[in-house]
Amino acid sequence: MLDFKRQLPKSKAVLNRTPRWLNVLMIIILLVAALYAAPNLFGENPAVQISSSTPGQNPSDMAVSKVTAALKKSSLSTTAITRENKHIVVRFNSADDQLKGKEVLQQALGNQFIVASYNAPATPKWLRKIGGQPMKLGLDLRGGMSLLLQVDVADVIKRRLHNSIRDIGQTLRKEKIPYRAIIPGDNSITINFREATQRDQAFKILAVKLREYSWQKNSSGEQYQMIGQLSQPALIQIRQYTMEQSINSFSRRVNELGISEAQVQQQGMNRISIELPGVTDATEAQDILGKTATIDVHLVDINHDLSQTLVSGKVPPGDLLIKDQSGRSVLLKSDVVLSGDSITNAVSSLDQRSGEPQVSVTVAGGAQSKLYNTTRANVGKPMAVVYNETKSTKQEVNGKTVIRYHKHSTVISVANIQGAFGASFRVTGLSSGEAKQLALLLRAGSLPANVTILSEQQIGPSMGKANVRRGKLSIEIGFLLVVLFMALYYRTMGIIADIALFVNLILIVAIMSLLRGTMTFPGIASLVLTIGMAVDGNVLIFERIREELRRGTSIQGAIHAGYDRAAVTIVDAQLTTLIAAIVLFAIGVGPIKGFAIVLTIGLFTSMLTSITYTRAMVNFLFGGKALKKLPIGMTVKKEKG
Amino acid sequence: MEFFTHNTKINFMRLRKITAVISLLLFIISIASLSVKGLNWGLDFSGGTQVQLTFPQSVDLHQLRTKLASAGFEKSEVQSYGSSHDALITIGLTGNKEERSKDQGVVTKEVTNKLKQLFPQAKQQGANAIGAKVSKELANKGVLAVLVSMILISIYIAFRFEYRMAISSAVALIHDPIVILGIFSLFHIEFGLNALAALLTVIGYSLNDTIVVFDRVRENFRKMRGSDAVEVVNSAINQTLSRTIMTSALTLVVVLALLFFGGPIIRSFSIALVIGIVIGTYSSIYVAGALAVALGLSRKDLLPPAKPTEESFQ
């Protein structure tokens, strides 16, 4: 049998030497990795996070002193009060203190601030300054709340159609083109005319004006029609815009809840997933997130008689009949003077004179002129603020899931317009709690569309902790057994492999922490896989070296050959798994993505540690030295032949 | 330390006809069980209600189970977690018509109310309501991802090795998860998200194993002139035997630790991994290796294209 001849270099001293720069580089990488993996060792403190009610605003220094004063007064001790990221974080010694502290601070700070309890990572300050932070733990490991919401894009499209119809009506009337009817259809609008000339005239104007539709002329019997179909790009744009707005809105709502590590993401075409790790107070979250609320401002219709309408049951055209909070009906003009999404800010406070709760609303530039003009033209006349709440329910009808929306409108205040205003105004007539909630909902932005909760999961923190504890324990045991076995079986080389394994883990943890990746349970699964493959890599190398030694190759030659040959195998194996990991990452959703991220990172670090790190250590210990025996756990018995 | 005599000359390939039959049988049984009996989808996939109950005294899980069954909850499971006072009750959606006509929130409410009646002394810690529709998308995407990656991997193997090996490794890759799913189906083990993660892990592991074997096969074909495919594959497997056993043993050690110490939540995960490692090793030898031989793998397929090699010419 012909042996595989290798090019052995003449001078053995060249074999098995790692260049110094590479050694230094590897040590540096290891130290840096250890530094950034370290935050994970520090655990968490029960803490309270204070943020300003106005999104994006930094709590002032005065706020900090208020906090310190309030805590001192109730003699609650803290381990630290720091500013982090536009929040004030107060760390307590125990969960009880945390609970008490939250109440005390809520009282002391009032409506201008949001106080939320959460578990703050106990990373020391200096480490945090250089960007060190612990890995994020997924919900399945940490406990918290997870919601999946579906956005009703179809409704938005319907509203767009109606807006266009109104637009068309106005335009045609202005151009004095008579038409018979404008009928909405399935993503389309049909306009009927009596004569062809009218239709053609309209066509010339509207086809240019309403370009998001593709218009066609049609004639059926006595009708001359033009049919506009909402174009595909327009549909896509509407959907994208709706999703973006919704995500923005929910992000702001979630910020209002003061949860620092919350995640709001788009999932699929029209769904949003919200993860609130560490959330212990689920009812508040559900309340804020589940509701859709807007306010609209309407003029009260004083020209028609309310009692007549109630008796006859017929609402005059162009009007709305809405009940107020005490159950009385109010007749309103349906034209919306100011709509919810033109509100830039809303703050609840107590009126300085009356002491009554109120909400001060700031209006966006674009809507100011209409508001101003309307109020100016109607001074002295009553104006109503309507609070719209939309609740949705899911049902299965004929095998399809149907979502029904119930819109509930209440008039929350009717007041006479004192003077013209455009830029801001105040809403009164609410209780303190209502004022706070209204302000919060207004600030968080009104949703452009209706939203249903598809799935809602609450993982109690105890479950998360128990999981983590047991999982940690079992992995530690398994790991220890592997380490032991490698050392016993491969002696010194085995210990080298063990060290490489530790380095591997440190690298993975450091990269995950730096990338702010989330470690979920499937992520732990891929850690298991990575450890398995890394160990396999080393086993491959060592078995090869043993084989070479048995064949009579010199020790240095055996080391060289072993690594040489095995490296090819390892790279092939890791690369194929890498393909799978990348595909999983690209196509996979949620937890599968988590699995893929850790796997990808792990594959790279494994290749690095199994080959390069162990080689460096082997070279350092054994390279270029005249050895009688290589401590690889076997005695060399030269094979004959 | 060494456990094995190197230089074993076990004729693995001799068994390849038998193992082919066994594999085929396993495959058919798995598919049959999956189509007829279906999988015991965990809450992650089937949707339903999951309620955490804390009792004032230690729980007797068995008692809970009987009580739930007699109360008419068909698809229910009871687990303990946290402390001995806690129980996790899962009421899966049965998927019948009556249930589906109700709103999800209503179903959850009904379940929590009924549970309150059954166990008035227990405190309800939290209720999960999961819409099944959600996770079907996840499962579908998962399957798609696995299929796409299999295709890409096969292409890679075809380039680096040889197309017959690509085909046989693809078959081995499909073989493993299906057999595991079949076992889950047969024994009615709950298949949840964690089990899915385990499945992916197993695929990765089996792939790794297969490549290592094939790598040695490739090397041997180039070295061992005049030997036929069976001999070459046999020697390849024999030579990698110590490595295969070592790696499998070490990985099994970790996974067994998970199984015994990891707690009930990751039980299905650990089971899937244990089965998977055993089957993965088996498939690398007997499915991938044997199939490649059966497809007519021969030396000339594996020679590198005409470029100078380190081998000296005869």
Mean pLDDT of B163-180: 86
How sure is the predictor about A7, in pLDDT bands with cuts at 50, 70 and 90?
A: very low
Residue pair A79/A92 in contact (Cβ under 8 Å)? The answer is yes
Residues whose CB falls within 8 Å of the CB of residue A573, separated by 6 or more in sequence, listed in order: A533, A536, A537, B207, B208, B211, B212, B215
Q: Which residue has the higher pLDDT, B131 or B143?
A: B143
Closest residue by Cα to residue A130 from A196, A63, A31: A31
Mean pLDDT of A385-391: 72
Contact across the interface for B311 and A533, Cβ inside 8 Å: no
Residue pair A470/A268 in contact (Cβ under 8 Å)? The answer is no
**β partners of residue A117:** A48
Biggest CA–CA distance in chain A, Å, is 114
Segment A601-616, tens digit of pLDDT: 999 999 889 899 988 8
Q: Is B199 near chain A, with CB under 8 Å?
A: no
Most confidently modeled of A310-324, A428-442, B243-257? B243-257
How sure is the predictor about A275, in pLDDT bands with cuts at 50, 70 and 90?
A: confident
Q: Dump strand ranges (E) for A420-538.
A: 424-428, 451-459, 518-519
Mean pLDDT of B233-242: 82
Q: Which residue has the higher pLDDT, A441 or B132?
A: A441
Whole-number Å distance between alpha carbons of A440 and A258: 12
Residue A600 distance to chain B (closest CA, Å): 12
Closest residue by Cα to residue B162 from B225, B214, B106, B89: B214
Chain B residue numbers touching A595 (CB-CB < 8 A): 197, 200
Mean pLDDT of A510-526: 82
Neighbours of A626 (CB within 10 A): 8
Whole-number Å distance between alpha carbons of A510 and A504: 10
How sure is the predictor about B313, in pLDDT bands with cuts at 50, 70 and 90?
A: very low
Segment B66-84, tens digit of pLDDT: 777 787 776 676 766 555 6
Average pLDDT, chain A: 78
Q: Is A91 exposed, middle or buried (0-12, 13-18, 19+ CB in 10 A)?
A: buried
Residue pair B251/A463 in contact (Cβ under 8 Å)? The answer is no
How confident is the model at residue A426, as a pLDDT? 80
The complex's ipTM works out to 0.76
Q: Is the pLDDT of residue B131 over 60?
A: no
Q: Is the pLDDT of residue A73 over 80?
A: yes
Backbone angles phi, psi at A189, to 5 degrees: -130, 135
Residue B106 distance to chain A (closest CA, Å): 10
How confident is the model at residue A388, as a pLDDT? 75
Structure tokens at A16: 């098995």
Q: Dump strand ranges (E) for A476-631.
A: 518-519
Mean pLDDT of A498-520: 88
Q: Which residue has the higher pLDDT, B192 or A181?
A: A181
Neighbours of A479 (CB within 10 A): 20
Global pTM value: 0.68
Mean pLDDT of A513-542: 83
Residues whose CB falls within 8 Å of the CB of residue B265, separated by 6 or more in sequence, listed in order: A463, A466, A467, A470, B79, B81, B194
Chain A residue numbers touching B288 (CB-CB < 8 A): none
Closest residue by Cα to residue A517 from A464, A460, A576, A585: A585
Q: Is the pLDDT of residue B235 over 80?
A: yes
How sure is the predictor about A112, in pLDDT bands with cuts at 50, 70 and 90?
A: low
Q: Is A364 near chain B, with CB under 8 Å?
A: no
Contact across the interface for B208 and A536, Cβ inside 8 Å: yes
Closest residue by Cα to residue A473 from B264, B271, B274, B257: B257
Mean pLDDT of A574-596: 82
A31-35, A576-580, A585-589, B211-215: segment of lowest average pLDDT: A585-589
Q: Percentage of residues in chain A with pLDDT exceeding 90? A: 4
Q: Which residue has the higher pLDDT, B309 or B253?
A: B253
Residue pair A371/A335 in contact (Cβ under 8 Å)? The answer is no
How confident is the model at residue A620, as a pLDDT? 86
Mean pLDDT of A95-124: 75
Q: Is A484 near chain B, with CB under 8 Å?
A: no
Closest residue by Cα to residue A599 from A611, A612, A586, A613: A586
Q: Is the pLDDT of residue A6 over 70?
A: no
A22-36, A371-385, A394-408, B272-286: segment of lowest average pLDDT: A394-408
Structure tokens at A100: 């008490």
How confident is the model at residue A448, as a pLDDT? 64
Whole-number Å distance between alpha carbons of A63 and A108: 10
Q: A232-256 vs A282-290: helix axis angle to the nearest 10?
A: 150
DSSP state of A619: H
Mean pLDDT of A127-136: 78
Q: Which residue has the higher pLDDT, A393 or A425?
A: A425
Q: How is chain B split among helix, strand and coil, in percent rounded to 5?
A: 65, 10, 25
Whole-number Å distance between alpha carbons of A351 and A76: 32
How confident is the model at residue A44, as a pLDDT? 76
Contact across the interface for A591 and B265, Cβ inside 8 Å: no
DSSP state of A135: P
How confident is the model at residue A500, as a pLDDT? 92
Contact across the interface for A5 and B212, Cβ inside 8 Å: no
Q: Percentage of residues in chain B with pLDDT exceeding 90? A: 1
Give the C-alpha distances (Å, rounded to integers) separating B105 from A389, A397, A515, B110, B208. 18, 16, 37, 9, 45
Residues whose CB falls within 8 Å of the CB of residue A630, separated by 6 or more in sequence, listed in order: A493, A545, A549, A555, A558, A559, A622
Segment A413-450, tens digit of pLDDT: 777 777 778 778 887 767 777 777 777 666 655 566 66
How confident is the model at residue B104, as a pLDDT? 60
Q: Is B34 exposed, middle or buried (0-12, 13-18, 19+ CB in 10 A)?
A: middle
Average pLDDT, chain B: 76
Mean pLDDT of A461-481: 71
Residue B26 distance to chain A (closest CA, Å): 25
Residue with tokens 């993401």: A265
Q: Is the pLDDT of residue A507 over 90?
A: yes
Query: What's chain A's Rg over C-alpha atoms?
Result: 34
Q: Tell me if residue A338 falls in helix, strand or coil.
A: strand
SS3 assignment for A503-535: HHHHHHHHHHHHCCCEECHHHHHHHHHHHHHHH
Which among A7, A489, A550 has the least Cβ separation from residue B310? A7
Q: Is B160 near chain A, with CB under 8 Å?
A: yes
